[in-house]
Every structure is written in C-alpha cells, then in structure tokens.
Amino acid sequence: MDQVRHLRYRVLDQPLGLPEKTESGKNDHNPDTIHLAAFDGDRLVTSVRLDKGTDGNYLVRRMATEPAFQGRGLGAKVLLVAEKIAFERGARTIVAHARRSAVGFYEKMGYRLTGKIEIHDGDENPEMIKEF
C-alpha cells in the first residue's frame, strides 16, 4: 500500500497542491473493494480501486498511472480487468468521476458523460458512466 499511496500522491494529489496521505483510506481495506495494479519489475506503474456502492455497482476511485507509462495501454488493461471482476460480482454499472484530463481515456473505455459534476479536493470532476 505504501507504493500505491505514493503513486496516488504524485499523480493525483501533488498537482492539486494537496498534502501526501500517510494512511490508507477506509475503502482501501474494505473486502468488497477491487484493487488492481501493474508493475514494471518491482516498480508500481499503475493502480486502480473500484469501490462497491450500496446499489451493488462500482465507482472508479484513485486511478493513477506514472506519467512516463501513460499512453501505453497499461491503465486500460488494469481497468478492464477490474471491470470484469465487478461484472462477475453482479455490477451492471460503473461510475467514474474523471479528471478533465482523463475524460478522453474513459470515453475510449466506453464511459459516457452524464452531465453531472462532482467536486473532489476542490477539483471539478465530470461524472461518467459505463453500463454492461
């Protein structure tokens, strides 16, 4: 989890001027949460967490890929496997609150904009949904 927290900080929080979190979030240890990652040797290069909602569907949270590895398809592969696991667990919808810079990535993955905006850490994130 230390590598995951540090990757999330460098890719997601540091650009927003947020402090580095030294503890895991509550859903990081939830048994219903789906965690997947990709490594280059022993170096973590991408990770994603899918949180299970009360309706049985999932929410993409804290997806991060090292900038040097972006655009290589690793994030897409990791997300596809996480979505497959969510589907096998009964999910029929996955929601993402995307950074504006990631909207194109999620659109290529089959997500569509809902028109809603979520505010996370002071940043506006368009809501996107993928239905199976």
Is 82 exposed, middle or buried (CB count within 10 Å of its CB: 0-12, 13-18, 19+)? buried
- The number of domains in the chain is 1
pLDDT tens by residue, the chain, 132 residues: 889 999 999 998 898 888 887 777 778 889 999 999 999 999 999 999 999 998 989 999 999 999 999 999 999 999 999 999 999 999 999 999 998 889 999 999 999 999 999 987 778 899 999 999
Angle CA(57)–CA(100)–CA(16) in degrees, nearest 5? 100
Residue 95 sits at φ, ψ, to 5 deg, of -110, 140
Rg (CA), the chain: 14
DSSP calls for 82-107: HHHHHHHTT--EEEEE--GGGHHHHH
pLDDT (0 to 100) of residue 16: 85
| Domain coverage including residue 104 | 2-131
CATH code of 58's domain = 3.40.630.30
